[in-house]
């Protein structure tokens, strides 16, 4: 019952989209949707996804294969460098590029910044998948006369299908939801247009109609990914070959490959960081003072969001892991579907609900934390569910056989074993909450300044020196969670 209630609450943004469409009626909705302005936004947004996702897949899978399957010089260094962009929020990378090249803008600029910022979201799952593959499959293919390229295309690449589709889905949803990076580059998408419409008409019909279209785009992306994924399974029985996969020599391709990876690292990490550090060095001490207060408020909201997300995820993960079935899958799917909607939709839904039903919660910390839970819940749910699945039920049964109550057995036996998973899930939620911009701008109480909103206030006013301390702080706050993600990937069995 608790999981069902929480699932229904998580679906508030979905209900908001449906309610807006019904309230407006077909005629008014059609007048607001079928106009040239919306057509331009649709073209921009679709091109961004259609071009951006394949580019991130190529970079992510290519980088993972080079690190894991070739005799790449300094491959351990490159393994870390390829994940560094995750420590730099996309809107900070946009700020770095815009301050380095002021003329960068439009679709080209948006693609450049977004692809460089988001390709690690494909790189990490691809890296994990490669480390888990049975090298015997590749050995068998080579024994049949296949060359290295044929083995990669016909044996390895199909096994990476789930990683590519999953990473591509996450990238697509990020592209649909991103506001700061594209607004800074003057590239208009549905999300940037919704924020502008909200600020000008306070959640008026124009913002609501654009929100309906954006929600439909997210649904289409989910449908495409589910269709492409199909019902294929890639699990194997047994541990696979005990021998590590042979690392392929790059031969004459070594210099250009190394140069390409260095160029990728420079473009995705060095350019933004150098811009941030350059502006930070010219700021005076007074510019750093507000950052301290903003950091404290950010940490409080991020920790609050992480704790709340874990509290919501724990019963759902327990039901999914211990009592799998149609009901558990349906309730879990509700969480994922709600979280697939962009932050701007979640924020608009919470604004509407609080104003109409719970006006006392409008622009309060509780509303901000609720938004963080809806947006970042899958990060906690995946980690906690995996942790519960790895704890044998027999341990609790043994404790109960000694006279311990079921609740105490769970608390004293299962609880300590879940701490690593809880910590990992909480860290990932806190990372997302600390870097979240759109929902925080709309929902935060008056006078509340997080590091992200403080950065945006300065950067949008083209006050680059004032924005630099906030940008540097965002990077520093992101490092621990990103290091944790990389450590989890490296902990997988190396073929």
Distances (CA, A) of 392 to 86, 413, 414: 34, 10, 9
Closest among 208, 225, 189, 199 to 43, alpha carbons compared: 189
Distance CA 58, CA 64 (A): 10
CATH fold of 283-494: MetI-like fold (1.10.3720)
pLDDT number for residue 43:
94
Residue 35: which region, alpha, beta or left (left: phi > 0; alpha: psi -120 to 50)?
A: beta
pLDDT number for residue 329:
72
CB 178 within 8 A of CB 191: yes
pLDDT number for residue 405:
64
Tokens 């509700």 belong to which residue?
Answer: 334
Using DSSP's 3-state secondary structure scheme, residue 375 falls into helix
pTM for this structure? 0.83
Using DSSP's 3-state secondary structure scheme, residue 386 falls into helix
CB 309 within 8 A of CB 373: yes
For residue 357, what is the DSSP state?
A: T
Q: Which two tokens stand for residue 4?
A: 């069902």
Asked whether this chain's domains 35-274 and 283-494 adopt the same fold, the reply is yes
Listed as ranges, residues in the chain with pLDDT below 70 are 1-3, 134-145, 147-150, 153-154, 201-204, 229-246, 390-415, 417, 489-495
Q: Which two tokens stand for residue 262?
A: 């260095």
Using DSSP's 3-state secondary structure scheme, residue 248 falls into strand
For residue 155, what is the DSSP state?
A: I
CB 69 within 8 A of CB 252: no
For residue 70, what is the DSSP state?
A: B
Q: How many CA atoms lie within 13 A of 322 on its CB side?
A: 16
Q: Which two tokens stand for residue 89?
A: 């929020």
Q: In terms of C-beta density within 10 A (0-12 exposed, 13-18 middle, 19 or more buried), how is residue 351 classed? A: buried
For residue 461, what is the DSSP state?
A: T
CB 127 within 8 A of CB 485: no
CATH of domain 35-274: 1.10.3720.10
Distance CA 24, CA 247 (A): 60
pLDDT number for residue 272:
93
The structural domains of the chain, with segments of one domain joined by +, span 35-274, 283-494
Closest among 329, 312, 303 to 427, alpha carbons compared: 303
CB 348 within 8 A of CB 409: no
Distance CA 199, CA 361 (A): 20
Residues 6+ apart with CB under 8 A from 316: 3, 6, 7, 331, 332, 335, 381, 385
Distance CA 493, CA 495 (A): 6
Give the number of other Cβ atoms within 10 Å of residue 487's Cβ.
10
For residue 364, what is the DSSP state?
A: S
Distance CA 332, CA 10 (A): 11
Strand locations in 290-363 (E):
none
Using DSSP's 3-state secondary structure scheme, residue 284 falls into coil
pLDDT number for residue 235:
47
Q: In terms of C-beta density within 10 A (0-12 exposed, 13-18 middle, 19 or more buried), how is residue 75 classed? A: middle
């Amino acid at each position: 019952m608790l999981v069902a209630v929480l699932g229904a609450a998580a679906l508030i943004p979905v209900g908001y989209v449906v309610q807006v469409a019904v309230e407006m009626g077909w005629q008014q909705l059609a007048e607001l949707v079928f106009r040239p302005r919306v057509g331009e936004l649709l073209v921009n947004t679709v091109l961004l996804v259609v071009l951006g996702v394949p580019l991130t897949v190529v970079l992510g899978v290519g980088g993972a294969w080079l690190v894991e399957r070739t005799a790449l010089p300094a491959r351990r260094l490159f393994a870390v460098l390829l994940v560094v962009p995750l420590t730099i929020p996309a809107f900070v990378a946009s700020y770095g590029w815009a301050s380095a090249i002021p003329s960068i803008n439009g679709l080209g600029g948006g693609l450049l910044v977004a692809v460089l910022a988001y390709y690690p979201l494909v790189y990490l799952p691809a890296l994990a998948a490669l480390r888990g593959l049975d090298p015997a499959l590749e050995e068998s293919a080579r024994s049949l006369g296949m060359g290295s390229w044929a083995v990669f295309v016909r044996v390895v690449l199909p096994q990476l299908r789930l990683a590519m589709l999953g990473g591509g889905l996450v990238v697509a949803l990020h592209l649909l939801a991103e506001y700061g990076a594209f607004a800074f580059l003057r590239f208009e998408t549905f999300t940037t247009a919704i924020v502008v419409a909200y600020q000008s008409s306070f959640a008026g019909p124009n913002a609501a109609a654009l929100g309906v279209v954006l929600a439909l785009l997210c649904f289409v992306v989910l449908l495409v990914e589910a269709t492409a994924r199909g019902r294929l399974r890639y699990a194997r029985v047994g541990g696979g070959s005990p021998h590590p996969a042979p690392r392929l020599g790059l031969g004459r391709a070594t210099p250009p490959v190394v140069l390409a990876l260095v160029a990728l690292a420079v473009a995705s990490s060095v350019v933004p960081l150098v811009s941030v550090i350059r502006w930070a060095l010219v700021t005076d001490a007074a510019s750093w003072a507000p950052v301290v207060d903003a950091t404290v408020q950010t940490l409080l909201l991020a920790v609050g969001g992480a704790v709340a997300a874990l509290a919501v995820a724990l019963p759902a993960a327990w039901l999914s892991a211990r009592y799998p079935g149609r009901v558990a899958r349906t309730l879990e799917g509700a969480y994922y579907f709600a979280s697939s909607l962009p932050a701007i939709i979640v924020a608009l839904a919470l604004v509407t609900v609080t104003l109409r039903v719970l006006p006392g919660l409008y622009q309060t910390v509780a509303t901000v934390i609720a938004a963080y839970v809806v947006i970042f819940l899958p990060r906690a749910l995946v980690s906690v569910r995996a942790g519960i699945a790895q704890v044998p039920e027999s341990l609790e049964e043994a404790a109960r056989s000694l006279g311990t109550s079921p609740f105490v057995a769970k608390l004293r036996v299962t609880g300590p074993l879940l701490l690593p998973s809880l910590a990992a899930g909480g860290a990932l939620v806190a990372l997302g909450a600390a870097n979240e911009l759109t929902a925080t701008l709309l929902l935060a109480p008056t006078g509340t300044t997080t590091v992200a909103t403080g950065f945006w206030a300065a950067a949008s006013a083209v006050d680059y020196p004032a924005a630099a301390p906030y940008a540097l702080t965002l990077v520093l706050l992101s490092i621990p969670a990103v290091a944790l993600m990389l450590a989890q990937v490296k902990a997988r069995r190396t073929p």
